[in-house]
A and B are shown apart, each in its own frame.
Chain A
Amino acid sequence: MRAITVKVGLASCGIAAGADAVYRRLESYLIESSKMVQLKRTGCIGMCFEEPIVEFDGGDLGRVTLGKVEPKQIIHLLEEYLSDRMPKTNLILADQHDAKHNPLMASQMRIVLKNCGVIDPQSIEEYEETGGYQALKQALSMRPYAVIDLVKASGLRGRGGAGFPTGLKWDFAFEQPGPKKYVICNADEGDPGAFMDRSLLEGDPHRIIEGMLIGAYAMGADEGYIYCRAEYPLAIKHLRIAIQAAIEKNYLGPNIMGTDFSFTLHIKEGAGAFVCGEETALMHSIEGLRGMPTLRPPYPAESGLWGKPTNINNVETWANVPWIILNGPQAFRAIGTQQSPGTKVFALAGKVVGSGLIEVPMGISIRDIIYKVGGGIKDGKKFKAIQLGGPSGGCIPEELLDTTVDYDSINATGAIMGSGGMVVMDEDTCMVDVAKYFLHFTQNESCGKCTFCRIGTRRMLEILDRISQGKGETEDIQRLQELAQNINQGSLCGLGQSAPNPVITTLRYFRDEYEAHIVEKKCPTQVCVDLLTYTIDKDKCMGCHVCALRCPVKCISGKRKQPHVIDPAMCIKCDSCYKSCRFDAVVKA
């Protein structure tokens, strides 16, 4: 009998879509039927829009990937596969990692995500089989500074958003006197619309641990922390399992792999504060204090956690390190652009067909990401903007879609690379509302230390609120621009400095939408409810009374079979009547 494997993608998205039930159904079926099938769990396969995803392999049909699988279908699908019949439904592709058959995969390149959705993240053996911990072994045979030189030569830049050269950062920490130094993995992925780090931690935790070990050896650190959001329970669970397994195999602990190098790794759960993604705030939070940023210098390399030299890198940066050690800096530089080598992982979401986790070589255009990798805009709508970098980033309009993905080109648009959240917006999205949404977020998350950030963001939000309610004044645009500049210059940390970015970029590229709200008192996309009025078209209304029954405030009146009327004074603009009318008689404008 052949060895057939069945893999179920059990990352958070998969579980949310019901993959757990599919897994349990398979499990009980396989116990009963005693078929020679190996059932495995794996991390995020990347095509989140197809979740739950199941992959069959090992049969004559080769690898077959199925999407949107329901528990009641799965046994039938498996039996089809076992009888060498290609399943007719749910089929996504017939050899997932063979780019030829899959246009969504063709433009991608997987270095960091190599194992994600392939191996069982709870098994250290599976990680080892893919070459895991070989990079550590190699690094331990080198002098520490040679490792730093190698990372410098690769040109790797920090994937947390700012793009600072990683090798240089390591060098600063290396130069500091010991003996006590720390390395930290920043897994406080707080940007709304970003889930790269979660998927990586859930899908391939050992890669991050190995990266940290290599960095710690190079810089001379013997202790490390992974600071992870408490909102990511599965990532924390997989990390705990991975750390325990690594200790048992002597990849962690004293005298690692028989050398003098010892390293202890802790997990620190965040407690819910966006500002803790800022490195000084993050360290204060580990110290048990309020996570409030402090002035740099001193940089963490000089005086970091508990005053000791500390190096902080983001999850994806650490995950790149083992690949660079094993394949060499030249191989890394062969990917991407001169100034931004390598790949970048993005969480593609919003109004795009193929939302999910993607990894692309730097230098690809944003247009290719949306239309080739992402398969275009959902429901045949028109593209309006793509938001990069979360609350610190900005919106890139259609005319700049050919901008390439590298730190410098994206910064030139006014957005930032950020950690990798990409949210696609279509013609139905109101850009004033988007700006307001982000400002609301940063205003809420401002730690309150700097006056401009604390009060300035609130003043900006008030102005945006006013504009979206139709009470805007023409001077408001000027006021927003002045406040934006002041907040940028008067704030200590990145959160405050970048807080106005969403407003600045939408003002730059979508000024006409602001003006429509202010001058015409209209929201062109009908998102800002205060600017809407609901009326009933007498000629179309059949008097079916459905809208009146649905109306929660009973503001629609009229006799059956006669045109109805909405009382605008009572209407709360809930949209119920609009949605319930079968004759398109409710008009909103």
Chain B
Amino acid sequence: MLENTDKLDALIQKYQGQEGILIPLLQEAQELYGHINKELMLYLSAKTEIPAAEIFGVATFYSMFKLKAQGRHVIKICKGTACHVSDVDSIKFALIEQLKLRPGEDTTSDMRFTLVEVACLGCCSLAPVIMIDDKTYGKLAPEDIVGILANYS
């Protein structure tokens, strides 16, 4: 069962009766719970009368929605063209090595970091670029990674 639904109920109330609410509703619900799991989808469906299948369809369509719990810090690796030709993959391998992620894993076992690839972050002149939470790191070399990760606990 979903707990602490007060804030969520207020959120649903805010959007009640409006058109096109599902995406902003899911965005704000994700801010509250960190990710959108099956329970949350069913709860929203029951309250808004939007079919759960439609909620699942939207939640899985957009890359912003996370269906699993994320680490405390999210590392976004820019996969834009400029970063690609500037060998951002070497940065990715350095991150995977430092975070000791196994194939298929994106979150460290201590929930410290989640590693994701994103389309262009739009800072192409600083390629290769990664973003940790809201901070962008540019003109990276694989050797820089250890020092950068040390700033996050």
Interface membership of A347, Cβ < 8 A: yes
Residues of A with C-beta under 8 A to B58: 288-290
Residues of B within 8 A of A575 (CB): 90
The size bracket of the interface on B is 35 or more
A270 CA to B26 CA in the complex, in Å? 12
> Cβ of B120 and Cβ of A192 under 8 Å apart?
yes
What is the minimal beta-carbon distance from B18 to any residue of chain A, in angstroms? 9
Partner of A190, one of B22, B119, B123: B119
Which partner residue on chain B sits nearest A196 by CB separation?
B122
Chain B residues whose CB sits within 8 angstroms of the CB of A429 once the complex forms = 85
Cα-based distance from A289 to B25 in the complex (angstroms): 12
Q: Which of B2-10, B99-107, B126-134 contacts A (4 or more CB under 8 A)?
A: B126-134
Q: Once the chains bind, are B136 and A356 in contact (CB under 8 Å)?
A: no
Q: Which residues of A contact B79 (CB under 8 A)?
A: 192, 441
Docked Cα-Cα span, A497 to B124, in Å, equals: 26
Please state if A16 and B129 are interface contacts (CB–CB under 8 Å).
Answer: yes
A443-478 CB contacts (< 8 Å) to partner B: 445, 447
Chain B residues with CB under 8 Å of A438's CB are 81
Distance A565 CA – B85 CA, assembled complex (angstroms): 31
A581 to chain B, nearest CB (A): 16
Contact of B23 among A12, A271, A274, A355 (CB under 8 A): A271
Q: Provide the residues of chain B in CB contact with A272, threshold 8 Å.
A: 62-64
Q: Is the CB of A51 within 8 A of B64?
A: no
B60 (CB) vs chain A CBs: closest residue: A290
| Nearest CB on B from A573, distance (A) | 11
B137 at the interface (CB under 8 A from A): yes
Question: Nearest Cβ distance between residue B67 and chain A, in whole angstroms?
Answer: 13
CA distance A437 to B117 in the complex (A): 13
Residues of B near A231 (CB, < 8 A) are: 118-119, 121-122
- Which of B20, B27, B65, B81 is most buried by chain A, counting CB atoms within 10 A of its CB? B81
Q: A523 at interface (Cβ–Cβ under 8 A)?
A: no
The residue of chain B having its C-beta at the shortest distance from the C-beta of A194 within the complex is B120
Residues A349 and B82 in contact in the complex (CB < 8 Å), given A287-B19, A306-B19: yes
Report B-chain residues with C-beta under 8 Å of the C-beta of A441.
79, 119
Instruction: Determine whether the beta carbon of A15 is less than 8 Å from that of B136.
Output: yes
Residues of A within 8 A of B122 (CB): 12-13, 189, 194-195, 198, 231-232
> Is the pair A16, B80 in contact by a Cβ cutoff of 8 Å?
no
A49 within 8 A of B: yes
Tell me, yes or no, whether A291 is within 8 Å of chain B by CB: yes
- Does B57 lie within 8 Å of A390, measured CB to CB? no
* B136 pairs with A49, CB closer than 8 A: no
Bound-state CA distance A526–B40 (Å) is: 48
Confirm or deny: B152 has a beta carbon within 8 angstroms of a beta carbon on chain A. no
Interchain CB contact under 8 A, A191 and B123: no
**Also in contact, A351 and B85, with CB within 8 A (given A51-B125, A272-B63):** yes
**Footprint of B on A, CB under 8 Å?**
12-13, 15-17, 48-49, 51, 189-195, 198, 230-233, 269-274, 285-291, 306, 347, 349-351, 355-356, 387, 390, 421, 423, 425, 429, 434, 437-438, 441, 445, 447, 552, 574-575
Contact sample, A vs B, 11 pairs, CB 8 Å cutoff: A12-B136, A16-B123, A48-B124, A192-B84, A195-B120, A195-B124, A271-B23, A437-B81, A445-B119, A447-B61, A574-B93
